[in-house]
């Protein structure tokens, strides 16, 4: 059954290729149907995969049956399956919104790019090889460049140019890091790297540390960790809502890689290099948290503000993961799922609000009353609750879990103060924009934009919020599962054994 | 050979970084290209430098050329090639849309060298 681990990569690749080849011949509705069915198929596959690995099994698929570390392996453990599930669910609803809103009408390449983006994301979560991770990064980035620029416009091109240039420099750094690690340790398979790092000789210690920290820099750039966070708000604000919603998972790819490499390669068994990432992660995460809240407070446009709120959530997420404890990781991974869906919902709402305000768009100035203000205001209110972590929804549960996890560290007063302070700033920011947009609105827009099928626009948002509601209702089982994910991450021995000695692992369960 | 190789990588990298910091699209593209050249050489060297090493291991040979970095470099070249093409197209589009080749879209700021 190890083939199950490759299916989440094959489905989007084949669907994307098919959509690319047939983009001129088959009608738009059929292409939409194809794309949606591929997305929902991935959701089913991810759920199946999670149910398979939930018991603690690690599925390893050796490509071409070349055994690790000589061949490339795909590894599905609890963390990978959980990330796949989040990605697939997010993709389904972002795509539904894109279809309802007609974002995909602009060019024929939207649907193929969407699937290729999923191909890169799923591959990055599943691969067990460092260089392969680089390749999947490039795939997902190239697709994201296309999606980001989809629709054109000066602002989008400018933000896109920054995003592309930064990420190309990041890719170069990734290659330097991979070269350094290969040159000193002689392998790129992550499980094998972990073994090699634990046995690293004194003279190679320096280069390995440099390589590891270069990788940290690359992942920090993808996650938008302070001080590499400046690209995020402008980029996310410039693109279309459906794409921004899908990008909600992009920062999490960086967080995933930090977690994977930080626990596996530089994990507890790594000898002198153990915890190489954890020392850097926590202070930078707290700085991101605080700067993100200040940015959200200072933002003059709604979508920029949402971008800064993404930074806040990245900061909180990495604070939890940076604790390197079982409960911290559990809380962080729960919060990761919640914040992905909540951010996506807020981006979609921001686009609908901006569309309803004519010339003013999403600038935070009092303007005309928005069509459907009741619906949108209600949705904005709920997503504000979600983003700022107020009770009774999943944001609160996640934040509470993170706060409880911080109590185990000696520096907890500082961490709790930072988290609660940033929450307060976030609440002030969201309340301010909510009251500006809805309560201080007067009159009608001069030429009210035609409201096309409002309900189908709102349904994907409601679905995303439904997921958050489900996360709230079933908070306990989900948190328990996440704690188990954290447990598995803190025991990298299982992963290493599953990859390097698959037969031995099967004999002794 | 080691000194020559490391000097080359260093020079390429520093020129690349300098050009990227020029904040204009054409130097940016050249800078990114030079940086990718540097990293290709670096990856190539990570399999150790050697001359006349056989590609296939045999009992009679003293060593062999590590094939993995060569495969990595090949992949990296293909990817950077595609990326360069993409950045060039994007720069042209940015020039058409923004009317300037400054990366922030600002008008000239006395950088008329």
- Chain A CB contacts of B104 under 8 Å are 158
Structural domain contains residue B32: yes
pLDDT above 60 (res A453): no
The per-residue b/e assignment along A421-452, b for 16 or more CB within 10 angstroms, e otherwise, is ebbebbbebbeebeebbbeebeeebeeeeeee
pLDDT above 60 (res A1): no
Nearest in space to A236 (alpha carbons), one of A249, A225, A227 = A249
Mean pLDDT of A471-475: 88
Per-residue pLDDT tens over the stretch A32-66? 888 889 999 999 999 999 988 888 888 888 888 88
Sequence-distant (≥ 6) Cβ neighbours of residue B18 within 8 angstroms: B31
- Chain A CB contacts of B25 under 8 Å are 161
Sign, CA dihedral A106-A107-A108-A113, equals negative
Structural domain contains residue B10: yes
Whether A135 and B86 lie within 8 Å, measured CB to CB: no
Three-state secondary structure readout of B20-62:
HCCCEHHHHHHHHHHHHHHHHHHHHHCCCCCCCCCCCCCCCCC
| Residue A117 pLDDT grade (very low, low, confident, very high; cuts 50, 70, 90) | very high
Structural domain contains residue B60: no
The residues facing A73 across adjacent strands are A62
Nearest in space to A253 (alpha carbons), one of A118, A147, A157 = A118
pLDDT above 60 (res A506): no
Domain range enclosing A171? 2-500
Whether B97 and A149 lie within 8 Å, measured CB to CB: no
Q: Compute the distance between CA of residue A79 and CA of residue A256 in angstroms, rounded to an integer.
A: 8
Whether A158 and B76 lie within 8 Å, measured CB to CB: no
Q: Decide: A263 and A490 in contact? Cβ < 8 Å.
A: yes
pLDDT at B35: 93
Mean pLDDT of A213-222: 91
Sequence-distant (≥ 6) Cβ neighbours of residue A80 within 8 angstroms: A53, A125, A126
If one counts the domains in chain A, the total is 1
Structural domain contains residue B61: no
Q: Decide: A352 and A340 in contact? Cβ < 8 Å.
A: no
Q: Which of A157, A162, A179 sits opposite B43 (nearest CB)?
A: A179
Whether A182 and B82 lie within 8 Å, measured CB to CB: no
Q: DSSP string of A199-258? A: T--GGGHHHHHHHHHHHHHHHHHHHT-TTS-THHHHHHHHS-HHHHHHHTTHHHHHHHHH
Q: Compute the distance between CA of residue A20 and CA of residue A248 in angstroms, rounded to an integer.
A: 24
| Residue A505 pLDDT grade (very low, low, confident, very high; cuts 50, 70, 90) | very low
Structural domain contains residue A506: no
Interface test with A, best of B10, B22, B72 (most A CBs within 10 A): B72
Axis-axis angle for helices A475-490, A250-264 (nearest 10): 40
CB atoms within 10 A of CB A391: 11
> If residue A40 lies in a helix (H) or strand (E), which one and from where to where?
helix A28-53
Q: Compute the distance between CA of residue A104 and CA of residue A119 in angstroms, rounded to an integer.
A: 19
Whether B97 and A162 lie within 8 Å, measured CB to CB: no
DSSP A410: T
Q: The complex's ipTM?
A: 0.90
Domain range enclosing B40? 2-49+67-98
Structural domain contains residue B109: no
Mean pLDDT of A122-143: 91
The residues facing A62 across adjacent strands are A73
If one counts the domains in chain B, the total is 1
Structural domain contains residue A509: no
Structural domain contains residue A489: yes
């Amino acid at each position: 059954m190890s083939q199950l681990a490759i299916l989440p990569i094959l489905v989007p690749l084949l669907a994307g290729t098919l959509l690319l080849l047939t983009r001129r011949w088959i009608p738009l509705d059929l292409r939409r149907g194809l794309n949606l069915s591929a997305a929902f198929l991935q959701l089913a596959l991810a759920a199946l995969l999670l149910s398979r690995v939930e018991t603690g099994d690690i599925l390893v698929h050796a490509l071409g049956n070349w055994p690790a570390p000589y061949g490339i392996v795909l590894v599905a453990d609890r963390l990978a399956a959980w990330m796949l599930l989040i990605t697939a669910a997010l993709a389904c609803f972002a795509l539904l919104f894109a279809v309802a809103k007609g974002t995909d009408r602009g060019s024929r390449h939207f649907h193929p790019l969407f699937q290729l983006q999923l191909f890169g994301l799923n591959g990055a979560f599943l691969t067990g090889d460092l260089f392969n991770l680089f390749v999947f990064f490039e795939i997902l980035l190239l697709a994201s460049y296309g999606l980001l620029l989809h629709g054109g416009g000066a602002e989008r091109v400018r933000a896109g140019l920054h995003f592309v240039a930064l990420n190309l420099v990041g890719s170069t750094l990734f290659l330097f890091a991979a070269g350094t690690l290969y040159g000193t340790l002689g392998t790129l398979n992550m499980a094998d790297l972990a073994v090699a790092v634990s046995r690293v000789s004194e003279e190679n210690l320096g280069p390995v540390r440099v390589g590891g920290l270069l990788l940290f820099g690359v992942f920090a750039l993808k996650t938008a960790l302070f001080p590499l966070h400046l690209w995020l708000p402008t980029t996310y604000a410039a693109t279309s809502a459906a794409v921004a919603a899908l990008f909600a998972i992009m920062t999490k790819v960086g967080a995933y890689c930090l977690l994977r490499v930080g626990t596996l390669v530089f994990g507890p068994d790594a000898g002198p290099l153990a915890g190489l990432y954890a020392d850097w992660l926590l202070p930078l995460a707290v700085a991101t948290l605080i700067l993100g809240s200040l940015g959200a407070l200072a933002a003059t446009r709604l979508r920029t503000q949402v971008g800064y709120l993404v930074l806040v959530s990245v900061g909180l997420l990495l604070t939890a993961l940076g604790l390197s404890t079982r409960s911290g990781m559990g809380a962080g991974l729960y919060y990761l799922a919640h914040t992905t869906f909540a951010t996506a919902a807020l981006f979609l709402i921001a686009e609908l609000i901006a569309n309803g305000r004519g010339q003013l768009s999403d600038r935070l100035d009092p303007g005309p009353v928005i069509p459907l203000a009741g619906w949108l205001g209600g949705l904005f209110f709920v997503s504000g609750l979600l983003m700022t972590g107020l009770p009774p929804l999943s944001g609160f549960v996640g934040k509470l879990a993170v706060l409880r996890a911080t109590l185990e560290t000696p520096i907890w007063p500082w961490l709790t103060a930072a988290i609660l302070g940033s929450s307060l700033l976030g609440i002030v920011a969201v309340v301010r924009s909510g009251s500006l947009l809805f309560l201080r609105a007067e009159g009608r827009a001069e030429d009210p934009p035609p409201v096309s099928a409002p309900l189908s626009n709102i349904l994907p948002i409601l679905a995303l919020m439904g997921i958050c509601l489900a996360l709230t209702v079933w908070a306990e089982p989900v948190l328990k599962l996440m704690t188990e994910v954290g447990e598995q991450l803190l025991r990298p021995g299982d992963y290493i054994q599953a990859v390097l000695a698959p037969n031995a692992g099967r004999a002794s369960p | 050979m080691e000194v020559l190789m490391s000097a080359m990588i260093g020079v390429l990298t520093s020129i690349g970084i300098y050009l990227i910091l020029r904040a204009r699209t054409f130097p940016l593209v050249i800078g990114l290209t030079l940086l990718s050249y540097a990293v290709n050489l670096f990856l190539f060297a990570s399999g150790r430098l050697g001359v006349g090493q056989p590609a296939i291991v045999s009992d009679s040979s003293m060593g062999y050329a590590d094939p993995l970095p060569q495969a990595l470099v090949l992949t990296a070249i293909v990817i950077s090639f595609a990326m360069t093409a993409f950045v060039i197209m994007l720069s042209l589009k940015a020039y058409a849309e923004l009317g300037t080749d400054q990366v922030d879209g600002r008008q000239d700021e006395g950088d008329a060298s």
